[in-house]
A and B are shown apart, each in its own frame.
Chain A
Amino acid sequence: MQNISVLITGIGGQGIILASDVLADAAMRTGWDVKKTDSIGMAQRGGSVISHVRMGDVVSSPLIPTGGADVLFGMEKLEAARHCHFLKPGGQAVINSYGAPPLTVATGAKKYPEDEAILSVVRERAGKVFFIDGLKKVSKLGNTRALNVFLLGALSVLLPLTEQVWQEALEAKLPSKIIQINLQAFSLGREEVKNAGIR
């Protein structure tokens, strides 16, 4: 098989590392080679976080080169746009419509780009973009903490991993207390992309 590369972007506190751990674990359970690498930088909180996940028969570099990602998985829309050059031309993007203003925007020095501006940046690379209001969808479950797993569910539709391995990976990585709500969030996320509004 051809290797598959997924780039996950967002900001600190969104559960990105957990999301990429679950994805890598699911790939391992499929019997593939897998590598992942996280860039957290200096920020404890609120800073940009990127995780590269690569899987296939043999994976060498854990870092995805520019233009090497099959899927861009963005949990914050500005960070998704910032890293879309990693996407292969014609690749797919799953982007959460949530926007967290960086300090430069909050103080009024810079403007947070409009959705259309963000999407046009992403569309320069992406063939398909799923732009999802994850927070709204997941709040139906009464707990927005499962947002990252909801979005993983959305991502899962684009990857050749079985529902079985996803479930096992979630069970392995999440505390048993919150597993039920997360499994529900995961299914909701899957539905979302299956019935999707592609933008």
Chain B
Amino acid sequence: MQDIQKISAGSKHLLSGNEAIALGAYHAGMKVATAYPGTPSTEILENIARFEGVYAEWSTNEKVALEIAMGASYTGVRCLCSMKHVGLNVAADSLLSASITGVNGGLVVVSADDPGMHSSQNEQDNRHYARLAKIPVIEPYDSQSAYDFMFLAFDISEKYDTPVLLRTTTRISHSKSLVCIKGLSEVGARRASFTPNPEKYVMLPAFARKRHEVIENRILELREYAQNTPLNQVLKGTGSMGIIANGIAFQYAKEVFPDAAVLRLGMTYPLSEQLVREFADSVEKLIAIEELDPFIEEMVRGMGIEVSGKDFIPITGELSPEIVASSAKKAGLLEDVESEEPACRAELPLRPPSLCPGCPHRGLFYALGKTPRRIKKVTSAPTKPTAGGLVITGDIGCYTLGAYKPLNGLDTCACMGASIGHALGMEKAGVTDKLVAVIGDSTFMHSGLTALANAVYNQSQITIVILDNMTTAMTGHQGHPATGISAGGKKTQAVNLENAVRGIGVDEVVVLDAFDIKALREAVARATESDKLSVIIVRGECAPLRARSFACRVVDTSVCTRCNTCFKLACPAIQYKDGNVYIDPELCAGDNCGLCDQVCPVGAIGVFDEAVKE
């Protein structure tokens, strides 16, 4: 990672949208930054954590992150809180509360949405939160605007006493483009100090009623601001068509309709009716090009202005220049585009993601799959209800990949922390299956603790497996409270998982080595036949974080019976080569793992002398 804090004013750099957001916030005088990791937002805080003079932390979850940013804002300093789109669902209560109290120092909440679901479980359009919370939403359309808009976002936040939602998307956050750097603004010198003001900061109904009036007036004032803000720009065109566009969709619109007049909205809520009406009057045909929901389009239509958009542009998925072009062609707005073959016609083997070689999650799924109850559950026809099987409710993280064949290790996965609630729900509904909830360590800290308290309190008999790989792996190895490593990479106090679980009231707690198949199988067998609430902590460090072991496993083909048991591990290193089972030494994790030699029924896998390299 380049050290972007050192970039000097006046220079020009290639920055990603996330780098531009981080640097823009810093140059605008941000003093506190909080976040919970989540693609595509993660790099914002990763960059800020390296800046000197800014407090940056990975918070336990998005709700906590936002409340910390609110508290800091109340003391007059500028704060940034970043998260992925679904994180804002977790922090929604806090966002709506921040709206009603307003701020003191500028408070900018970054929501990084993921149209196309590159790495998410849904593709919700978080601009709706701005309308719900009655706060402005700002949308950059490249890295330069991401950088520039940060200054305006903080100014607006303070001037209008409101949190500001800055919405970016994967394509903005993860694309690099040129940025001219302005440098540090003057705001930096503020000292934090809190002046009590209960009518603003204590939301008792009597005070909140007054604040509601305040925020309704605020949105009217912002609507007026929207008319002349530099965030919104009219770009003159030559044709008869006018396009309203935001974010990355603006770039696609420019590419497909280089001559059209464009109203580029950098602030998509609230909209100024006068601005839109003047633009609409200047063109013959008005279209709105935006990713996901017809957010702008419906507001424009609500003004009584004729506009089209989602009648030909897809509402699902990420847009691209060719999707905009082909949609426009179908709608009769474009003529001479050749139709392109959408994709390669040849049938090529797919490359689905899989657990890494040496992944500490693999052994648990193998052990679960070997229990008679699980075999019964997965082999019986899905139409017939089975009794006495094993249902595994899952959660979000690298281990969600355990759902794929041949591990078949998860039956549900919805949102972070849901595994425990799902298992409790099935139990309380009365299924006769044994229920196991599988949850990662970061996810457990994020939203598993409260669900576990619920399990204790409401007398559950489920088993909860915490897959403790000592990091937040899925999003690129960030710390969390149980790792004891801060966002800046310093050692801090770690929350002890086993003590936390015991403290909540679970008596049956075991901690197991993630690579000990025998112990895993025994623990799973014990738990699945017991009627006591239990927690199994499966501990093993994330494979890419460990020093490489060169004691690669080798298959003795004279002993191997090709029974394929080792393939049940779904390890990328275990392959077929010339009709024999073969372990790729480039991929094998060696002594960091050793699962395959434990599962081989004939002892054909081991470390042979010639394989032991330096």
Question: Which A residues lie at the B interface, using CB under 8 A?
Answer: 11, 21, 24-25, 28, 33-48, 59-63, 65-68, 78-79, 81-85, 101-108, 110-113, 117, 121
Contact = CB atoms under 8 A, between A and B. Distances in A.
Nearest to A111: B349
A46 B354 contact: yes
A34 B344 contact: no
A38 B346 contact: no
22 contacts: A21-B176, A33-B178, A34-B14, A34-B177, A35-B177, A36-B177, A37-B176, A46-B354, A47-B353, A62-B171, A62-B248, A63-B252, A63-B321, A65-B340, A67-B340, A68-B321, A85-B340, A85-B343, A102-B351, A102-B352, A103-B570, A104-B349
B255 interface: yes
B346 A46 contact: no
**Chain A CB within 10 Å, residue with most, of B118, B255, B356:** B255
Contacts of A41: 118-119, 353
Contacts of A113: 346, 348-349
B251 interface: yes
Contacts of B356: 44-46
Contacts of A61: 248, 251-252, 254-255, 320-321
A81 B344 contact: yes
A67 B322 CA distance: 9
A61 B171 CA distance: 10
B174 interface: yes
A110 B356 CA distance: 20
A108 B574 CA distance: 11
A66 B342 contact: yes
Given A45-B356, A85-B340, A121 B346 contact: yes
B235 to A, nearest CB: 12
Given A37-B174, A81-B344, A104 B544 contact: no
B585 to A, nearest CB: 14
B232 interface: no
A11 B351 contact: yes
A66 B341 contact: yes
A43 B176 contact: no
Given A106-B572, A106-B576, 4 more contacts: A41-B118, A44-B474, A66-B341, A102-B351
Contact of B567 (A21, A42, A107, A117): A107
A84 B343 CA distance: 8
Those 9 A-B pairs whose CB atoms lie nearest each other, nearest first? A43-B353, A106-B575, A37-B175, A110-B349, A102-B351, A65-B322, A62-B175, A60-B254, A66-B340
Given A66-B341, A107-B576, A79 B351 contact: yes
Contacts of A46: 351, 353-354, 356, 572, 587
A103 B352 CA distance: 8
A103 B175 contact: no
B468 interface: no
A78 B349 contact: yes
B250 to A, nearest CB: 8
Nearest to B573: A106
A159 B570 CA distance: 42
A46 B586 CA distance: 12
B575 A101 contact: yes
Contacts of B320: 61, 63, 65
Contacts of B171: 37, 62-63
Contacts of A40: 118, 174
Nearest to A32: B178
B378 interface: no
Range of interface residues on chain B? Answer: 35 or more
B473 A44 contact: yes
A108 B350 CA distance: 13
A72 B270 CA distance: 43
Interface in B95-118: 118
A82 B354 contact: no
Given A45-B544, A60-B251, A65-B321, A104 B350 contact: yes
A42 B574 contact: no
B580 to A, nearest CB: 11
Contacts of B474: 44
Contacts of B254: 60-61
B398 A44 contact: yes
A147 to B, nearest CB: 13
Given A60-B251, A61-B252, A104 B340 contact: no
Contacts of B344: 81-85, 121
A78 B255 contact: no
Given A36-B175, A46-B572, A85 B351 contact: no
B10 to A, nearest CB: 16
B348 A66 contact: no
Contact of B352 (A60, A65, A104): A104
A65 B100 CA distance: 44
Contacts of B352: 47, 102-104
Interface in B470-491: 473-474, 476
B291 interface: no
A83 B353 CA distance: 17
A38 B587 CA distance: 24
Nearest to A108: B576
Contacts of A47: 351-353
A36 B14 CA distance: 9
Interface in B384-413: 398, 401
Contacts of A107: 567, 575-576
A39 B173 CA distance: 11
B350 A35 contact: no
B251 A48 contact: no
A159 B401 CA distance: 40
Given A44-B473, A48-B351, A34 B178 contact: yes
B398 A35 contact: no
Nearest to B341: A85
Contacts of B574: 106
B118 to A, nearest CB: 6
Nearest to B353: A43
Contacts of A121: 344, 346, 348
B20 interface: no
A102 B338 CA distance: 34
Nearest to A84: B344
B441 interface: no
A102 B178 contact: no
